[in-house]
Amino acid sequence: MSDDSISRSDPVARPDGGPSYRVLGCATEHPNHVFQVRTPFNHRSFDALNATGVDLDVVSPTPFAPPVGPYSEYRRVPKTEQWGSYRVHYPRFLYMLPKRYFYQVSGNSAQKRVTKYVEETFETPHDVVQACGFYLDGYATLEYCKRHDVPLVALSHAGDLKNFDRFNDTVQSHIRETIDYCSAVLTVSDELSAVARRFAPASKVTTLPIGEDPENYPTDRREAIRRELGIAPETKLLLFVGRFEKEKGVRDLVAALESLDRDDVAVAAVGHGGALHWWFLDRLGELRHPAHAYWQLDPIAVRRLHVAADLLVHPSHFEARPTVIYEAMAAETPVLASNVGGIPEMVVDGETGVLVPPHDPETLAETLDYLLDDPERLREMGTAGLQRLLDQQWTWKRHAQRLNEIHREVLRA
């Protein structure tokens, strides 16, 4: 292999001056200049890890694009691009639909093409592979790891574990094979770690929270930001951030808002995908309350909305630990959320926010009504949320430090 074929991010000097090590990161769901707001937490995790001084290469397997149709825009994804502090490579693989029948074909193609791409593009082997999930990411790197005896660490955000029983037998076997090989099985919540222990010994399972950095949220400019957004001082701004789909509770949210009989409410909804996109926007437009929907909004703009909001409303049906709640905590915004998954690990009911049952728009509306009548309590819960974020060290810097520690434990084993 010639020197010209080696392509990696420039290593950052370790803050403690210690020796670095080489990481191959793999995230099928990673932002690019076509899908700029897709799963930003994967990018933030790699960016924070790179800041610890590792030598980082990142691949984001990307489907071949059909010539026409809704997925043809994938052809605009570049071969490589700089993203934050590192360079991302987008090797193509065959993604077959419908997923319930052909997901194993997609996994096999991703594994074959990622293995070949990594061996031809980078200096190999790496010291450790960090995958952003077990399937497709972990499985896509599995052959490379086995061939070069490289340890694999995978961090699940819920999808592959909580949807396990929905996959066909072949995909389930691929997930089990990946977990069996993993040196460390990481999840973002304790609730999800309990699920992971169905597949891996407890000694191999660790909860590794993600987080947010409060210094990125201009809370000192809250009133100015609200003026710029045209929000009157007496108006209560409700914020929803997530995919516009049934599982995120958007039908429940609309039903609750329709029954909310008050004149001091405005709604901001930020989305980046989902089958109910147009339904949700149409229903928001029919509300008596002013409502603004934003599609694929830049993260900086989302932070401004968090700062401006009086309350984050997150009525999801299932979750691990949603990034949007960390963001609200960093912005000192209280949270009204469903009591599902890992959310109770984040939100202290009655202290940093309020938890309600999922699938219950009536209770959601009643809770909204009494919370909006007590702005002082909302401010106190927002302040307590930020303090909890800091006390628990739910920041990207701490996330990366802990990930670095786990890598070194694996390398010493």
Q: Are 347 and 365 in contact (CB under 8 A)?
A: no
At 204 the pLDDT is 97
Secondary structure (3-state) at 99: helix
How would residue 19 be classed by pLDDT, with cut points 50, 70 and 90? low
User: How far is it, in rounded angstroms, from Cα 304 to Cα 300?
Assistant: 7
For 329-346, how does the pLDDT look when each residue is reduced to its tens digit (9 = 90+)? Answer: 999 999 999 999 999 999
Look up tokens 């700029």; give the residue: 36
Instruction: Sort residue 341 into left (φ over 0), alpha (ψ -120 to 50) or beta.
Output: left
User: How far is it, in rounded angstroms, from Cα 160 to Cα 183?
Assistant: 18
| CATH code linked to domain 3-210+395-412 | 3.40.50.2000
For 95-141, how does the pLDDT look when each residue is reduced to its tens digit (9 = 90+)? Answer: 998 998 999 999 999 999 999 999 999 999 999 999 999 999 999 99
Q: Please count the CA atoms within 13 angstroms of the CA of 403 that sit on its side-chain side.
A: 37
Q: Averaged over 174-188, what is the pLDDT?
A: 98
At 159 the pLDDT is 83
Polymer length in residues for the chain: 413
CA angle 241, 246, 248 (to 5 degrees): 30
User: How far is it, in rounded angstroms, from Cα 170 to Cα 157?
Assistant: 21
User: How far is it, in rounded angstroms, from Cα 165 to Cα 168?
Assistant: 8
Phi, psi at 20, each rounded to 5°? -90, 175
* 214-391 CATH choice from 1.10.760.10, 3.40.50.2000, 1.25.40.10, 3.40.50.720: 3.40.50.2000
Same fold, 3-210+395-412 and 214-391: yes
pLDDT at 2 over 60: no
Taking the domains of the chain in order of start, what are their residue ranges? 3-210+395-412, 214-391
Longest dimension (CA), the chain: 69
326: Cβ–Cβ under 8 A, 6 or more apart, which residues?
210, 211, 212, 346, 389, 394
